[in-house]
Amino acid sequence: MSYFKVEHLTVRFGGLTAVDDVSFDVDEGQVFTIIGPNGAGKTTLFNLISRLYQPTTGRIEFCGEDVTLLSAQEIAGRGIARTFQNIELFESASTLQNLLVGRHRHSTTRIWQDILRTPKARAEEIEHRRAVELVIDVLRLQRYRDQAIGSLPYGVRKVVEVARALCVGPSLLLLDEPSSGLNVEETDAMAEWILEINRRLKVTVLMVEHDMSLVNRVSDRVLALDAGKIMALGTAEEVQNHPDVIAAYLGT
């Protein structure tokens, strides 16, 4: 039984087949990267896995459970969290509040308990804060804790995106282009975060990336996608030296 498996996943939007018969599996504790030119269907694939889109055919399996038909909110409950390419943070709230939202699947209080602020609600709230502070420590976001997202620089927002996903307490983390829009230093830092998340926090990482140096640095396995179809699958080196991949994406 593999940790995370995608089988013959296909999605069609009208006449356009965005993802065409894609199958791959991810072992626990790996960093698995998906690369490919723009429009190859990488983010669509992500959206399928995080259940924002419905697949036309195919199957998604996580820890032996068929999760193909689950809703987006249920997927989070199973321990799969994601970041978004174009940053979907809650702009009007502070960093702390954004991270606390990530803790949602860990809260067991019903609405009436929240309104009355029962001792259970209060205890859980303190627990949430504690958990969130751990993530803040790992990603060094202390100085941004109470600032509104709208006032943060882009690089920091990207880190907050990752932090929020971590607060979900995921076993599988989906990172959608974590380095896009970041400069060299920030990309470097991001690479470090990813390795730390993977090795220290024992989170399996599935990510989409364009920055090949980052890909080489962190990935255990790489999948190359083009026009919705798999071009190559293997280690970073194997995929990069694959003739199809060079032709369609990397160039010589």
Q: Which stretch binds other proteins (CB under 8 A): 29-37, 57-65, 82-90, 198-206?
A: 82-90
Selected binder of other proteins within 27, 65, 91, 192 (CB under 8 A) = 91
Pairing of strands 4-13, 16-26: antiparallel
* Smaller CB separation from other proteins, 117 or 140: 117
For the chain, state the CA radius of gyration: 19
Place of tokens 């699958």: 233
Distance CA 147, CA 153 (A): 11
Residue where the block lists tokens 């080196």: 237
Residue 38 engages other proteins in binding (rule: CB under 8 A): no
| Spatial separation of the C-alpha atoms in residues 60 and 83, rounded to whole Å | 19
- Of 23, 137, 150, 184, the one binding other proteins (CB under 8 A) is 150
Distance CA 169, CA 182 (A): 25
- The CB density around residue 118, as the number of other CB atoms within 10 Å, is 14
Work out which of 103, 157, 221, 242 binds other proteins, going by CB under 8 A.
103
Give the contact letters, 205-244, x = binds to other proteins (CB under 8 A), - = no.
Answer: ----------------------------------------
Q: What are the CA-CA distances from residue 211 to residues 79, 181, 183 (Å)?
A: 27, 11, 11
The sign of the CA dihedral 75, 79, 85, 91 is positive
Q: Applying CB under 8 A, which part among 108-116, 135-143, 185-193, 223-231 lies near other proteins?
A: 108-116
Min dist CB 150 to other proteins, Å, is 5
Q: Is 47 in the site for other proteins (CB under 8 A)?
A: yes
Q: What residue spans of the chain are helical by DSSP H?
A: 42-49, 72-77, 95-102, 111-116, 119-139, 154-167, 184-199, 212-218, 236-241, 243-245
Query: Given candidates 36, 102, 178, 228, which one binds other proteins under the rule CB under 8 A?
Result: 102
Query: Looking only at residues 163 through 202 of this chain, which bind other proteins when binding is defined by CB under 8 A?
Result: 164, 168
Q: What is the smallest separation between the CB atom of 205 and other proteins, expressed in angstroms?
A: 16
Give the interface segment with other proteins, choosing from 15-23, 92-100, 203-211, 234-242 (CB under 8 A).
92-100
Binding site for other proteins (CB under 8 A): 43, 47, 50, 52, 71-77, 81-82, 84-86, 88-93, 97, 100-105, 107, 109, 111, 114-117, 121-122, 124-126, 128-130, 150, 164, 168
